[in-house]
Structure 1
Amino acid sequence: MELEVRHLRVLCAIADTGSLHKAARQLGLAQPTLSTQLARIERALGAQLFVRTRTGCRPTPLGLVVLSRARPLVAEFAALVTETRAAAARAAGGCRLRIGATASRAIPGWLRLLRARVPRVEPTLEMNASANALLGMVAAGRLDMAFVHEVEGSPLRVPPGLRLRVLVEREPQFVTLAADHPAAARAEVSLADLSGDRWMIDSTVDGEWDALCRVLRAAGLNSDILHGDYLTAYSLAAIGEVVTVSQPTAPVRTDLAIRPLEGDPIGVRLLLAARTEDDLDDVYPELETAYWAVAQEAPAYRKWLQRAHPPGPDACRNGHGSPVPARWPVAADLRSR
């Protein structure tokens, strides 16, 4: 077996995520497939590159040597591909805008606005639960920009050279529970109201598991926390099996209630990352418009914003320094551009 660039990407992904499961998700592979690839690479080199433990994978001393050579090769190849594709797009009279993102309801409107503004620019989208993985892809030239969230208390690993633009300094995270849950009758839910509930969290989302554990411990609760993707979490929440953390812009469903948590104990910072300030300037206004449009369409979040930032001299700034538009964009804004 001869080593190829894709094999080096596998090694870098495992080292960056510290987990075969997370690396497989980042690379779009099944975990058994990734495990088989790693075994073949190690056989080809005649040495073990990673130590597998119950908590993840860490490089062996030899693995660190291999990674020190692999990373610049992967980065150089990614830059070559990026430059070649850009040149080809320019020659063809068009341009692809490669966007990465963690989950957000603002994304469809953002892409629609970008296409309407510059018809010859075609945005492409790559979703990933890991904000750190997306930032690494921007730094390596595999994406042009990434819209990500940083969970409070779990700083992202921002590669050197990336430029960041803050969309919202602190977005409160709400709780989603069954519509007939006793706490759903309240406009704001305390953690004590949920003391008898199990939680479900997607642990592949950077920082979210740790944030919930910290918050529950601070409240003196020892609630069970289950791992699962958020589609499953919402389905189980609807029948009262679990409650889950959700973005305040989450879509309204008749079988679910989305409520603020008392004291807003969990927050995230919303960031746009790119390699240059010009890249940020090119797409940020459309992202801002799309975000505040979905914020207006989310009843619980709209009420939270109105309560937290009532009209007045400072109505256009929220309590954390992020701009709150005096007139929020509406859905018609997205259709008319």
Structure 2
Amino acid sequence: MELEVRHLRALCAIADAGSLHKAARLLGMSQPSLTTQLRRIENSLGAELFSRERTGCRPTPLGRTVLSRARPLVSGMAALVTEARAAADRSAGPRLRIGSTASRALVGWLRRLRHRLPGTDITLRMDVSAGALLRMVASDQLDVAFVHEVEGCPLAVPEGLVARVLLEREPQFVSLARDHPAAAMPVVDLADLAGDRWMVDPTVDGEWDGLRRVLGEAGLNPPVLHGDYVTAASLIAVGEAVAPCQPTSAPRDDMVVRPLRDDPLAVRLLLFTRPEPGGAEVGAGGAAYAGAFADLEAAYREAALRAEDYRRWLALHKSPLLHAPAA
């Protein structure tokens, strides 16, 4: 087996993260796949590069030697890719590379961007991990990233990125079966869901930690299912689970969306980009980024007002979102 740059990148990620689980998330792969890759690398070299301990992975003496040679190679390759992409950008015309976690504002945002920036190549990258998207902005693989930060679980923001706050605190609602006893109430207490299974996607940065904290503070310890939210919707509809959801979520014939009393769950909505050397925010060469935040604000307001329960919540809290800014 010949070592490739991707193998060296994996070794550096394991050393930096301190565990195979965390390194796999950084690399966007499963832990079993990374474990298999590490085993093949070590078999090829004929010795262990990391000692597996209860607290994680630590480089062996040979591992430290290999890492000392691997890091400059990985760094040099990353610089080469960045410079090549920058050269391609200069010759390919204007483009705007957007990253985003899930949001119902995306459709309206893209529609506004395409209308305002005709001739610009606008691409979208979706990811459940805000951290992964921020690393892509930092490495010049994306121009901007629209992400959410779970309250109490701050994101690991790469050095140098700048952010604008779209919404300081967006309440998270709960989705439940239409025939659930709590569905008849306009506002749901956490105590009303004490007997329910909760479903959460652990791959969404901060999601499980945030929910666990809120349930613990309420004195609840319900059974929790881990899975994606597409699967969750099917289980919620038949009464097998409840789950936190965005307030802009649309109800269905078999499922309702309700606010939680006192809004214990919340996220902060942010738009990240890189600064130019002079300090100005950049996107697609600066021009394409100008106005992107305003387009996002308008798209989010549109999605918020379309959701009946969220619209009532906004009116109750006298939110400025109810009023469009002056032209």
Please give the range of the TM-score, normalised by the shorter of the 2 chains: 0.7 to 0.9
Which amino acid is the alignment partner of residue 303 of structure 1?
Answer: R
- Take 1:4 and 1:217, find their aligned partners in 2: how far apart are those partners? 46
Secondary structure (helix, strand or coil) at the match of 1:205 reads coil
Which residue matches 2:10? 10
| Cα distance in 2 for residues equivalent to 1:308 and 1:118 | 35
In the alignment, what sits opposite 1:267? 266
Hey, what does 1:160 align to over in structure 2? 159
Which position in structure 2 is the counterpart of 1:333?
none
Distance 1:325 1:190, change over 3 A: closer
Would the alpha carbon gap of residues 163 and 300 (structure 1) be closer, same or farther in structure 2, given more than 3 Å must change? same
Displacement of 1:307 after TM fit?
Answer: 0.6
Distance 1:45 1:128, change over 3 A: farther
Residue 175 (structure 2) aligns with: 176
The correspondence of residues 203-214 of structure 1 with structure 2, limited to 5 A, is: 203-214=202-213
> Could you tell me which residue of structure 2 aligns to residue 90 of structure 1?
90
Q: Which residue of 2 aligns with 1:77?
A: 77
Given that 1:78 and 1:142 are in contact with CA atoms closer than 8 Å, whether structure 2 keeps it comes out as no
Q: Which runs of 5+ in 2 are unaligned?
A: 284-288
**Cα displacement (A) at 1:25:** 6.0
8 A Cα contact 1:166 1:271, kept in partner: yes
Structure 1 distance, partners of 2:156, 2:139, is 14
Q: For residue 286 of structure 2, what is the aligned residue in structure 1?
A: none
Q: Which TM-score applies when normalising by structure 2? A: 0.85
Identify if the C-alpha distance between structure 1 residues 204 and 68 changes in structure 2 by more than 3 Å, giving closer, same or farther.
farther
Note the alpha carbon deviations across 1:22-69, whole angstroms, 9 max, x for none: 6556645455443322222233444434455788x5343555675576
User: Which of 261, 264, 287 is 2:296 aligned to?
Assistant: 287
Residue identity in the other structure for 2:231: T
Could you tell me whether the CA contact under 8 Å between 1:26 and 1:128 is conserved in 2?
Answer: no
Counterpart for residue 326 of structure 1: 323
Of 283-292 and 155-164, deviating more is: 283-292
Q: Distance in 2 between matches of 1:49 and 1:108?
A: 47
Match of 1:220 in 2: 219
Question: Which residue of structure 1 lines up, in the alignment, with residue 251 of structure 2?
Answer: 252
When structure 1 is superposed on structure 2, of 176-185 and 247-256 the one drifting more is 247-256
CA distance in 2, matches of 1:67, 1:253: 52
* Residues 1:196 and 1:66: Cα distance change in structure 2 (over 3 Å): farther
C-alpha distance in structure 2 between counterparts of 1:53 and 1:180, whole Å = 48
Greater alpha carbon shift after TM alignment, 167-176 vs 71-80: 71-80
Structure 1 pair 213–100 and aligned structure 2 pair: CA distance change class (3 A): same
SS at match of 2:282: helix
Q: Shift of the alpha carbon at 1:153?
A: 0.9
Going from structure 1 to structure 2, the CA distance change for 1:48 and 1:104 (only over 3 Å counts) comes to: farther
Rounded to whole Å, the distance in 2 between the matches of 1:176 and 1:139 is 35
The separation in 2 between residues aligned to 1:125 and 1:178, in whole angstroms, is 32
Q: Distance in 1 between matches of 2:169 and 2:133?
A: 20
Show the counterpart of 1:304: 313
SS at match of 1:153: coil
**Aligned alpha-carbon RMSD (Å):** 2.8
How far apart, in 2, do the equivalents of 1:15 and 1:212 lie? Answer: 30
Total equivalences in the alignment? 315
Q: Percent identity of the aligned residues?
A: 61
CA shift, 1:203, in A, is 0.8
Partner in structure 1 of residue 142 of structure 2: 143
Looking at structure 1, the residues matched to 308 and 298 of structure 2 have their Cα atoms a distance apart, in angstroms, of 18
Write the deviation string for residues 163-195 of structure 1: whole angstroms up to 9, x where unpaired.
111111111111110011110111110001001
Deviation at 1:72, TM superposition (A): 5.7
In structure 2, the CA distance between the partners of 1:72 and 1:183, relative to structure 1 (3 Å rule), is: farther
Q: Structure 1: state its 5+ residue gaps.
A: 310-314, 317-323, 330-337
* CA–CA distance in structure 2, aligned partners of residues 48 and 82 of structure 1: 32
Is the partner of 1:257 in helix, strand or coil? Answer: strand
Question: What's the offset of the Cα at 1:124?
Answer: 1.9
Aligned in 2, Cα 1:51/1:258: closer, same or farther, shift over 3 Å?
farther
Give the residue type in structure 2 aligned to 1:251: A
Hey, what's the Cα distance between the residues in 1 that align with 2:307 and 2:64?
A: 47
In structure 1, what residue type is equivalent to 2:139?
Answer: A
Alignment check: 8 A CA contact 1:293 1:328 kept: no
Seen in structure 2, the aligned counterparts of structure 1 residues 28 and 213 have a Cα distance that, compared at 3 Å, is: closer
Distance 1:300 1:69 in 2: 57
